[in-house]
Structures are given as C-alpha cells and as structure tokens.
C-alpha cells in the first residue's frame, strides 16, 4: 500500500499500524538493491508540518521534508553558511531536488553531509509519533553507522537550531575523489565567533566520514577559545586534536590519508573562518 498523507497526525496514525517512511527516496531505493518494495509505504513529502522553514528570533525550525535545494535557497542567518554550502554539494541537482534533511539524518551514514554543519549549530531533532513528541540533541540522535534512536512509530518532523551565534559565519569543506557528485573521504564544518577583544569567543568544529558518526573536536575547540582571532590561528592545530576520530581504510581512502587530509582541511577551515569574520 502507498499512502501520501497531508498531515502529521494522519501520517503518525498510519505509521503506528506499521509501514516505512519514504521521503525523496534517494537513500531508500538504492538501499533496496534489487529487492521489491514490500509493506505499507508512507510518503511524507506532502505533509504540511514538514514543509516549512520558520525563522523566529531565538530559533530556526526546518521541516523534515525540506529538500537540499530549498535549504540552499533559503534566507538563513550566517551561522547556516556551512549547511547551505553542504546542500549545494550533496549529489547533483536531481538529488538536491528530491533528497531531504530528515532523510539524510535518519539514514545516518557516516558521510551524511548535513551532520557536521548541524552539530556545530547544536541542532536538535523533533520526533513525532501518535503518542507524542520528543526532542533530542542531534549528537544523541545518531548513535552509530546507520543507527539512530528513531523508533519505528516516529517521524523526524523538524530540525531545530537555537539562534545563539546567528551572525557568525560558518564554513563547510568536503574532500572527495573528484570535485562534484561525490561521497566524501572527509568533510567538516567550522565556526569561530569573536569576543569584544578580538579573540575567539566560541569555536566549533565537527568532522564527518572519519568515524562511525560525525564528531566534534572538543579539545581543539577548547584550545582555540580565547586565542587572538587572526591569521596564523590554524597553526595551533595538532595531529593529537584529531584523537576523537577513528577513520577506516575503505574503497575511497586509507585511514592514514583520511587523517592527513582532515588535518589540512581543519587548518584551511580555520583560515577561512578568520577571513570570513564580519
Ligand atoms: C547519486 C546520489 C548521490 C548522493 N550524494 C550524497 C552526498 O554527496 N552527500 C550526502 O550526504 N548524501 C548523498 N546521497 C544520499 C541521499 O541523497 C541523502 O542522504 C538524502 O538527504 C536522503 O534524503 P531522502 O529524502 O531521499 O531520504 P529517503 O531515501 O526517502 O529516506 C532515507 C531514510 O530515512 C527515512 N526517513 C526519511 N524521512 C524521514 C522522516 N521525516 N522521518 C523518519 N524517517 C525518515 C526513510 O525511512 C529511510 O530509511 C546521495 C544519494 C544518491 C542517490
């Protein structure tokens, strides 16, 4: 059975009786391989509550069925620069037109491009079922390689970003085996805010594709805070700052290459953040 509900209530009631959620299908169908679709499919792309981006003074709420293309085009504050840049690098235009933010998060690939840009924004996810709504920090939602805490009766209804650093520019860098249409070897998002004395106020750096789930580099963030926010800041980055990462050897790159490339990318991102300061 194929259902296309227009309200979250209808969708969660249907899901409570069993079935699978479908959004853009860009992960869903490739994962099936040659197997046919079975059971009830609940297409969430027409649900009103999942379709908007709401900017309030204290937070931004992005509906789960918002596509990459819509994120790239949205008038979001500067702290979202990294997410918008990631949106422009996911697959090609066809994938960006269909693929959704919730699909990317629920698929929970270690190479999911939305995760580092949302981790540096301290994003939360809102999960809705017929029995209620719960909110979780994104860092607790994705628990492993393609593993999340989503229950089978829940829909990821929105991504919520608190607006604490809205005017702070953020950066997204992605390294793949070629420039376009590529799953990353490593990628990261970073932001640096400045305090009144021209020093780093808040530093946030998150790296994807180098561990089962994307990770913030908390020790580096701590070491950067309070440092003069000027060129040369990136020379503070040491290989030991990448300790939270556990890259693997695979078809795309060796673990050693991933580590090396990530170190370079982190330094470049910090240089970019310094240059982008308002
Ligand atoms: C050619 C190609 C290139 C790609 N390139 C990239 C890339 O560069 N970077 C990248 O990160 N990804 C890439 N992807 C993966 C994919 O496009 C993204 O992860 C996309 O955001 C998935 O969204 P979707 O709406 O298509 O999800 P779907 O395929 O519809 O769903 C994916 C999973 O999430 C679940 N789901 C979807 N929405 C919800 C919801 N609201 N609530 C609960 N569960 C939900 C589904 O049940 C399914 O398990 C690529 C895919 C293809 C085919």
pLDDT for the residue numbered 251: 82
Q: Give the model's pLDDT for residue 179.
A: 75
Q: Which residues of the chain have pLDDT under 50?
A: none
Q: What is the pLDDT of residue 174?
A: 95
Three-state DSSP class for residue 186: strand
Q: Ligand 1: distance of its center to the CA of 251 in Å?
A: 21
The strand ranges marked E within the chain are 2-3, 20-22, 41-43, 53-55, 59-63, 124-129, 132-137, 142-144, 147-148, 155-162, 170-175, 186-194, 200-208, 215-216
pLDDT given at position 166:
87
Residue 157 CB contacts under 8 Å (≥ 6 apart), including other chains: 8, 49, 50, 63, 64, 102, 126, 127, 128, 133
Distance 46 CA to ligand 1 centre (A): 16
Give distance in angstroms: CA of 86 to centre of ligand 1.
14
39 lines ligand 1 (CB under 6 A): no
- Over the stretch 145-199, which tens digit does the pLDDT of each residue have? 999 999 999 999 999 999 999 899 999 999 987 777 778 899 999 999 999 999 9
* CA–CA gap between residue 116 and residue 244 (Å, rounded): 14
Ligand 1 in reach of 207 Cβ (< 6 A): no
Provide the β-strand partners of residue 207.
Answer: 188, 215
* Closest C-alpha to ligand 1, atom 5: 91
CB 193, CB 272: distance < 8 Å: no
Q: CA torsion, points 252, 82, 157, 31, in degrees to nearest 10?
A: -10
- Measured in angstroms, how far is the CA atom of residue 67 from the centroid of ligand 1? 10
């Amino acid at each position: 059975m194929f259902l296309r509900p227009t309200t979250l209530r209808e969708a969660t009631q249907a899901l409570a009786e069993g079935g699978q959620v479908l959004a853009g299908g860009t992960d869903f169908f490739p994962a099936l391989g040659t197997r046919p679709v079975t059971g009830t499919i609940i297409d969430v792309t027409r649900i009103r509550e999942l379709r908007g981006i709401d900017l309030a003074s204290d937070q931004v709420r992005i509906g789960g069925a918002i596509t990459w293309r819509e994120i790239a085009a949205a008038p979001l504050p500067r702290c979202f620069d990294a997410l918008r840049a990631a949106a422009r690098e996911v697959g090609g235009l066809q994938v960006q037109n269909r693929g959704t933010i919730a699909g990317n998060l629920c698929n929970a690939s270690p190479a999911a491009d939305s995760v580092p840009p949302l981790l540096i924004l301290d994003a939360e996810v809102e999960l809705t079922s017929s029995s209620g709504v719960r909110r979780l920090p994104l860092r607790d939602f994705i628990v492993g390689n393609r593993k999340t805490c989503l229950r089978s009766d829940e829909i990821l209804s929105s991504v919520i970003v608190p607006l604490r650093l809205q005017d702070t520019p953020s950066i997204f860098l992605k390294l793949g085996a070629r420039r376009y249409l590529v799953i990353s070897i490593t990628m990261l998002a970073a932001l640096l805010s400045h305090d009144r004395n021209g020093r780093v106020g808040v530093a946030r750096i998150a790296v994807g594709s180098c561990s089962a789930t994307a990770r913030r580099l908390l020790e580096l963030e701590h070491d950067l805070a309070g440092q003069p926010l000027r060129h040369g800041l990136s020379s503070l980055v040491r290989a030991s700052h990448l300790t939270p990462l556990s890259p693997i050897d695979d078809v795309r790159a060796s673990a050693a290459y991933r580590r090396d490339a990530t170190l370079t990318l982190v330094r470049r991102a910090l240089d970019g953040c310094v240059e982008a300061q308002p």
